[in-house]
Amino acid sequence: MNDVLFFNGRWTTTDERVLGVEDRGFQFGDAVYEVFKFLRKRPILAIDHFRRLDRGLREIDIRNPWNESGFLRTVDELLDRTIFDDGIVYIQVSRGEGERAHFYPDNMPPTALMYTRRFKFPDEVKKELGIRLITAPDLRWKQCQVKSVNLLPNALAKKRAQRKGADEALLVGDGEVREGASSSFFVVRAGRLITHPLDEHILAGVVRDRVIGLALAAKIRVDERPLREAELFDMDEAFITSTTMGVMPIAEIDGRVIGNSRRGEITTRLQRLFDDLEMSEMSQQRRETTVSDSPPRRR
């Protein structure tokens, strides 16, 4: 269904074909993106997403068209205009439009867009039963901390998972388990969480960061270290995290049942804690959301 679209400073709808054929996002994948969730027209963790967008743009030397308050004003206006109550906001910033050439001029005016999409978030049954994963080789580039629009390896890995009756692909490189094709990955072993450290092999998931904070506050130890693929045979629970899935238990990896085939105790606790955090974000008043939102745990 078509809805409101912010495009380079003006408001239109997704009916309008706005993008130039020589936009560098289209021609070169020269762009970064963000996705965040909204519930009852309130943005969830929008500041965390803005900060990651800003870091990604800096890393690839694209000017951020927004500062934090300008971004939040655009988000508020978008959510005032949307016809949906709940859904996701997709944001993309490319280097801009110009005659096709690998060399690009310095300081090109970026292309900035933002629009809403309806989204069916997982229901209680799905959140209890969890999802199936397959392992797949990590064929992505070496700067996975940048949320680049170049998602071909991710899309191919997810399609491979779907063809095998699974929901997500777990990307493995050099014998180490990195993350899901569109999610962060956690294992629970002996009451502790294990997840890949923040480096160029993974995206700094917004939910990952918040879940680590919630776990630490609940006195659950967190080891941020690479997990060898062989260790996938030795775990009590596993879950993925993402903006659209929240904390989602993993029922199977490559056809092997995880834990005792039921949602694990620690996964359940963290799922509830994260759901509560989203609910409290949703119920904040607009001024509070934009001005005194609790900062992310760390960069």
Q: Which residues are catalytic?
A: 147
Rule CB under 6 A: is residue 184 a binding residue for ligand PLP?
yes
Residue 210 CB, shortest distance to ligand PLP, in Å, is 8
Closest to 205 in 3D by CA, of 69, 43, 36:
36
Rule CB under 6 A: is residue 206 a binding residue for ligand PLP?
yes
Phi, psi (deg, nearest 5) at residue 89: -110, 125
Specify the residue, 42 or 96, whose C-beta has the smaller distance to ligand PLP. Answer: 42
Binders of ligand PLP among residues 240 to 259 (CB under 6 A) are 241-243
Binders of ligand PLP among residues 150 to 179 (CB under 6 A) are 179
Specify the residue, 94 or 243, whose C-beta has the smaller distance to ligand PLP. Answer: 243
Specify the residue, 64 or 241, whose C-beta has the smaller distance to ligand PLP. Answer: 241
Sign of CA pseudo-dihedral 70, 76, 78, 81: negative
Residue 102 CB, shortest distance to ligand PLP, in Å, is 26
Rule CB under 6 A: is residue 203 a binding residue for ligand PLP?
yes
Residue 117 CB, shortest distance to ligand PLP, in Å, is 14
Residue 263 CB, shortest distance to ligand PLP, in Å, is 19
Specify the residue, 97 or 278, whose C-beta has the smaller distance to ligand PLP. Answer: 278
The answer to whether 196 and 228 are in contact (CB under 8 A) is no
**Contact window for ligand PLP (CB under 6 A) among 201-209, 267-275, 280-288, 291-299:** 201-209
Q: 195 - beta bridge partners?
A: 186, 224
Q: Give the 3-state secondary structure of the chain.
A: CCCEEEECCEEEECCCCCCCCCEHHHHHCCEEEEEEEEECCEEECHHHHHHHHHHHHHHCCCCCCCCHHHHHHHHHHHHHHCCCCCEEEEEEEECCECCCCCCCCCCCCCEEEEEEECCCCCCHHHHHHCEEEEEEECCCCCCCCCCECCCHHHHHHHHHHHHCCCCEEEEEECCEEEEECCEEEEEEECCEEEECCCCCCCCCCHHHHHHHHHHHHCCCCEEECCEEHHHHHCCCEEEEEECCCEEEEEEEECCEECCCCCCCHHHHHHHHHHHHHHHHHHHCCHHHHHHCCCCCCCC
Rule CB under 6 A: is residue 148 a binding residue for ligand PLP?
no
**Contact window for ligand PLP (CB under 6 A) among 204-212, 248-256, 270-278, 291-299:** 204-212
**Number of residues binding to ligand PLP, judged by CB under 6 A:** 12
298: number of Cβ within 10 Å: 9
Residue 204 CB, shortest distance to ligand PLP, in Å, is 8
Specify the residue, 96 or 115, whose C-beta has the smaller distance to ligand PLP. Answer: 115
Q: Which of 50, 208, 215, 250 binds ligand PLP (CB under 6 A)?
A: 208
Q: Which of 94, 183, 271, 289 binds ligand PLP (CB under 6 A)?
A: 183
Interaction site with ligand PLP (CB under 6 A)? 179, 182-184, 203, 205-208, 241-243
